[in-house]
Structure 1
Amino acid sequence: MRLNAVPLIALLSLFAIPVAAQECGDADTPCEIPSGTYHVAMPDAVAPKGIVIHLHGGGGRGRGMLNSGLGKEAVKRGYVFVAPNGYHPGARFVNNWSVRAKGTNYENDDGVFLRDVLADVRTKTGLADAPVMLAGFSRGASMAWDVACHDPTFADAYAPVAGAFWDDLPEICAAPVNLFLTYGWNDRTVPLEGRSLRGGTVIQGDVWASLKVLRETNGCTARQPESSSFEGDLWLRHWTDCNAGDIQLMLHKGGHGAPSGWGPRMLDWFEEQTS
């Protein structure tokens, strides 16, 4: 029995190497690839369940996401948690994302960068076919919307909070997606109706208009959701008549941020979509 146990242990160790040998990614040492940098937190699990990517807001950095509620919960549940750095040295705001918006230009395409990040993470971890959730806050949420619309196969589920498309909005997206949008009723930074910036040359898009684009892409037969629900200070709307994809909207009484328990809820929903 001991003769058989040794090779088995060695074999298990080989499978554990890709996720255990983390040479970069902590708060002080981001992983570097030709198109940028990212942070990553590995779970203790020998075989991680999937990959969760969270995009920081404008002016933020990926390392700040490592201690977020979503980051901690993702690692606890056995997911690889990834926090890329949006970086545009020649732009007005350096730590930003190349969100598609009228009146803005960026030297880097973050859609390409995020694909590079995901490919590097899959290579390092061996998670070639693992499910992916892309989340984002504020400007990062808008980037998540753009990826969902123009590169829908990037992730299995999208969880933007406090952000949507910017004008000019797309007429239709490439394919249906699963998307759970969270928004503060009193958000004054990125209001539900959007707002004009720089003398009207750049405009945050209307959230309701963004949802309309997604409903039409997913083939939802009605504008209004089939059901609504309430959980204390949370108001939820559920579109269930769509030909493909899942659309959820959660409103809370707060401002520009996520309500308590947002991270675990998003992971619960993600697991429902990929189970």
Structure 2
Amino acid sequence: MLTRVALGGRSYLLFTPPPGPTPPPLVVVLHGAGGTAEWADGETGWSATAAREGFALALPDALPPDPAKPPKFLTNAARWDVGSGGDEDLLDPPDARPDDLAFLSDVLTDATRRAGADPRRVSVTGFSNGAAMAFRVAAELSDRVAAVAPVAGYCRVPEGFRTARPVPTLYLIGAADPLVPVRGGAVRSPWKHRLVTRRPVAESLGRWARILGCSPGPVEESDAGGVRTDAYPGPVPFRAVTVEGLGHHWPGGKGQLNPRVAGPPSAVLNATAVIWEFVREYRS
């Protein structure tokens, strides 16, 4: 059962598994722009997976531009401050940016303590704007993150950023994503209804590869059943998974976003299961 935890004027959802012989891992899930922690869990099924597999789960909430009003997808969309570059091409920045990195650092500490989780086995995943924030957390809090798994978002970490340690990474994207187009191109903002130009996803991933000390040129590992996996050789695993026919949705999720904006959902791959199998192996 998920419980709402208040933390420094903000809050997050927490699932704590029954006590076991060893401290459980902790997975932190970051929703996308306009989303909420509850929506993200319903879309992805992370809490059901945590209950079945016995790990702790935290789903923090971002803040909307006007925290005095309820968050709404189109008019007061909650989103993370992903740092350099941001998402201003799709959303107007808030007048005063919240310190999301400090908040998420506090979530890692608080959720680990409350759930009795292993602080060496904390992993972060996120969708869209939450994926960009997951990259930022893995860069700036790399000594506390065992693995990271961004889904359908960009790496906004500046070129040349030096992490305390390279973090094992699994990235997932839909080949038919109209908001994060794999090859780049024009994107119509769901919020501002204006056309903006997106760079190819490969440029973003190549920058992250260089930050990790991996080769920026991927090598194909497999391509079957509508799922291609590319690897970036280096000191830690870094794989990118592309799902054919998938739009801007959580792979294998409920596909709750409007397909006219987000493109088609797909059940070819269950990202929650795949990410759990990846992150469960690692320790910081």
Using structure 1 for the length normalisation, give the TM-score. Answer: 0.78
Unmatched 5+ stretches in structure 2: 68-74, 253-269
Q: CA deviation at 1:202?
A: 7.6
Partner of 1:230: 223
Moved more, 70-79 or 192-201: 192-201
Name the CA distance, whole Å, in 2 between partners of 1:187 and 1:53.
Answer: 24
CA drift at 1:133: 1.1
Amino acid in structure 2 at the alignment position of 1:31: V
Q: Deviations over 1:231-272 (max 9, x none)?
A: 3111111223x1x22210000021012333211111111123
Distance of aligned partners of 1:165 and 1:129 in 2 relative to their CA distance in 1, 3 Å threshold: closer
Which residue of 2 is the match for residue 255 of structure 1?
Answer: 247
Measured against aligned partners, the alpha-carbon deviations of 1:98-139 in whole angstroms (never above 9, x if no partner) come to: 122255454301111101111111222233534011000111
1:71 correspondence with 2:47:
yes
Structure 1 residue ranges without an equivalent (≥5): 1-21
1:61 corresponds to which of 36, 56, 59: 36
Count of residues paired in the alignment: 244
Q: 1:165 to 1:187 in 2, by over 3 A?
A: same
Instruction: Kindly indicate which of the two structures has a greater share of residues assigned to helix.
Output: 1
**Aligned residue among 190, 194, 207 for 1:213:** 207
- Aligned mates of 1:194, 1:113 — CA distance in 2: 34
Q: Secondary structure at the match of 1:213?
A: helix
Letter in 1 for 2:275: M
> Partners of 1:75 and 1:195 in 2: how far apart?
41
Which residue in the other structure is 2:62 paired with? 86
1: CA distance between counterparts of 2:221 and 2:16?
A: 36
Q: Does 1:239 align with 2:232?
A: yes
1:36 pairs with one of 1, 6, 10: 10
Partner of 1:9: none
User: Which of residues 109, 112, 130 in structure 2 aligns to 1:140?
Assistant: 130
Q: Report what 1:6 is aligned to.
A: none
CA contact (8 A) 2:23 2:116 kept: no
The 4+ residue runs of structure 1 with deviation greater than 4 A are 194-205
Bigger mean CA offset, 211-220 vs 262-271:
211-220
- Could you tell me which amino acid in structure 2 is paired with residue 61 of structure 1? T
Q: 1:97 to 1:216 in 2, by over 3 A?
A: same
CA RMSD of aligned residues (A): 2.7
Q: Distance in 2 between matches of 1:195 and 1:245?
A: 33
Distance across 2 between alignment mates of 1:90 and 1:201: 25
The residue number in structure 1 matching 2:278 is: 269
Number of the residue aligned with 2:97: 107
Q: 1:121 to 1:222 in 2, by over 3 A?
A: closer
Identity %: 26
Residue 219 of structure 1 aligns to which amino acid in structure 2? G
Give the TM-score normalised by the residue count of structure 2.
0.76
Letter in 2 for 1:209: E
Query: Larger C-alpha radius of gyration, 1 or 2?
Result: 1
Q: Secondary structure at the match of 2:124?
A: strand
